[in-house]
Structure 1
Amino acid sequence: MDEAAHYELEEGPGEDGRRLVLSGPLLISTVGRIEPELRRLSGEIGVIDLSGVTEIDTVGVWVATRLADEHSARIEGADERAGHLLDAIQGMGGEGIAEERSPVWERVPIATGEKVFAARAGVIGVVGFFGQVLLAFLTILINPSRFPHRALVRQMELVGVAALPIIGLMSFLIGVVIAQQGAVQLEQFGAESLTINLVGRITLRELGVLMTAIMVAGRSGSAFAAQLGTMKLTEEIDAMRTIGISPIEALVLPRIMAATFMMIVLGFYASMVAIVGGAVVGQFALGIPFFTFLERIQEVVPTYDLWVGLIKAPVFGLIVALAGCYHGMQVRGNSEEVGSRTTLAVVSAIFAVIVIDAFFAVFFTEIGWG
């Protein structure tokens, strides 16, 4: 077992005042016995003497440093190991390591205020970033030779073509679930045939494009943030600026244009596959022939439902790409920031898409497309 740690207060000579002499091992396993008593010491202490300390670790040095800060004392008698630890921990003080938390009724309002202020700064930053994107787009319109054709095609492949399998599978299963669950509920009223209306309208207006936007946010929005964030850390973006290449034109604009355009294609594709999934359920569970289901879709679903989805799609794509690129370009400091910014990109994109979708729902209802 470890020997116990001890302390003793002595009256020092001259102007030194009282002297606190620590002895024995000042280790994490031994200092706990005397640490509460040391906290309660009052009065002036001029010197903290470590010459009697046999062993010491970071916790022991922290205790001595905190006492020195509280009593404006100086530390003497430290051996070589204690000296190195003192140099490493000097200036941190006790409160920097074990800060007492304020009550919850104080922490919650403070944290809320900090979040609101951060959100305000974030909105201003996104608006400014969007302004830079618009300026870059106008510059390319004036100078078409600067348009990054290859980068755009590559991003369209990554955002759109590569996403077809996973979005197709997701949409098919959504169509199956809507048709099956809708039929169960409508059966209570003898209206199983209205399952066709339910599947057609809800996929074309809402779920087709909304679920696609969420999938694109998790798949491509996160990739944009991680790619640009890594380029920021490795100073590739700074190097581009140095040689006269605009990162907004070369990196951000192709991603935003690809996501905006491909969301239209992916949203329409997802809606069609979801309808096929509903038709499969109609064939095997409702007794509605597959092609009869598809023909009835054309009769019962208004054309404006298709336009509602197609109008939403590019807006959602713009939001997802803007969030991913903005957070990627905000990475600072270290690799941990890449992870946190990637998470922020996905969360903020999904949140913004759902909020904008709610506004779209109200708007289209007001103009008679409800």
Structure 2
Amino acid sequence: MLDTTGAWLLTQLRRHGAAGAGSFVGASSKHQTLLARIDEYEPADLPPQHTDNFLIAPFIALGRTVIDASKDVVSVNATQGHLIGAFWRTATFQSPLRLASFVEQFEQIILRAIPIVALISLVVGAIITQQTILQLRNFGAAILVVDLAAILMFREIGVLLAAIMVAGRSGSAITAEIGSMRIREEFDALRVMGVDPYQALLLPRALALIVGLPLLAFVGSMAGLAGAILVAKAYGGIPIEVFVIRLQDAMTITSVAVGLLKSPFMGLLIGLIASVEGMKVQGSSESLGRRTTSSVVKSIFVVIVADGLFAIFFAAIGF
């Protein structure tokens, strides 16, 4: 047996004049042909690696980033179209909703995230209240911390913290699950069996995020308000009864509605980005880890940007 590597080694020995390597003896016709072809090859020097000018390198990196972002927008829109189609088929009873999968995802993504979201929101609410009281005390208006805590927690902080925690905790898990399925070619197996992967895998996860994130946002807002009450009592000397009475005047249904209206859109964005990044896994553990990291970073960035856009929109319409 003589393969290409062996023929190349023998040819190199003969070229460099090694002892006893002047000619080949006993080679078959196939081996002689292979050795002759290898002997005809003359290795050429590789061209020097091209390096970009350091002045234009930032612009090249910026261009590649813009192109990658454009591709991500197209992929997100395509995935959204597939999910809308799957939801339409479910709503029109053409395809059944996998209720068991939806309930399992709701438990994993939403219910099991309640303790950590409540704890983080309570701590953040306490910190914000403490710093606010410290500043308002200089103006003799420490009682206004109730208004600030109520409006801020329900309109912004509660939903934002819940979305960030879900993006880091569950968005990464969705990307890892879908990426592992891509590596094991389970998506192709589902298509061969006539099952739509978007209907079976992605739709239950997206629905769990859309339906459950408002619940997490409300729990986080209430926990942040509880932290504000504790700090206002211990640090600001505001009795709980006074805090509650002031809260009744400061809190409106509009503040609660703003947070609850934003959260389903944020859940959809997290699900779309996590699904798209999972579909990009190429087949190695390195690719899986890279896409999981990218999913968390992009989801948190998009959630924060979306929250800012919602804030501008609601302020413009006076809501």
Question: Where does residue 4 of structure 2 map in the other structure?
Answer: none
Distance 1:131 1:145 in 2: 16
Distance 1:116 1:131 in 2: 23
Question: Where does residue 279 of structure 2 map in the other structure?
Answer: 329
Cα distance per residue 1:115-161 (max 9 Å; x no partner): 11111111111111110110111111122661100000000001111
Give the letter aligned to residue 55 of structure 2. W
Greater share of helix residues, 1 or 2? 2
Give the letter aligned to residue 325 of structure 1. S
Question: Where does residue 138 of structure 1 map in the other structure?
Answer: 88
Question: Where does residue 305 of structure 2 map in the other structure?
Answer: 355
Give the letter aligned to residue 184 of structure 2. T
- Contact 2:182–2:283 (CA under 8 A) maintained in structure 1: no
**TM-score relative to the length of structure 1:** 0.73
SS in 1 for 2:195: coil
Q: Does 1:104 align with 2:66?
A: no
Question: How many equivalent residue pairs?
Answer: 288
Distance 1:92 1:322 in 2: 48
Larger radius of gyration: 1
Give the letter aligned to residue 240 of structure 1. L
Question: Where does residue 116 of structure 1 map in the other structure?
Answer: 66
The unaligned stretches of length 5 or more in structure 1 are: 1-47, 54-75, 78-82
Question: Where does residue 181 of structure 1 map in the other structure?
Answer: 131
1:91 CA drift (Å): 7.7
Give the letter aligned to residue 227 of structure 2. G
- Contact 2:150–2:225 (CA under 8 A) maintained in structure 1: yes
Q: Does 1:164 align with 2:111?
A: no
Cα distance per residue 1:295-337 (max 9 Å; x no partner): 3222112221111101011111111111111211221232211
Give the letter aligned to residue 219 of structure 2. Y
Q: Does 1:228 align with 2:178?
A: yes
Q: Does 1:310 align with 2:231?
A: no
Distance 2:93 2:234 in 1: 57
Cα distance per residue 1:62-87 (max 9 Å; x no partner): xxxxxxxxxxxxxx99xxxxx9xx9x
Inter-CA distance 92–347: structure 2 relative to 1 (3 Å threshold): farther
Distance 2:220 2:97 in 1: 30
Question: Where does residue 341 of structure 1 map in the other structure?
Answer: 291
SS in 2 for 1:105: coil
The unaligned stretches of length 5 or more in structure 2 are: 1-13, 24-34
Question: Where does residue 227 of structure 2 map in the other structure?
Answer: 277
Higher RCO (CA 8 Å, separation ≥ 6 residues): 2
Candidates 258, 281, 294, aligned match of 2:244: 294
SS in 2 for 1:271: helix
**TM-score relative to the length of structure 2:** 0.85
Greater share of strand residues, 1 or 2? 1
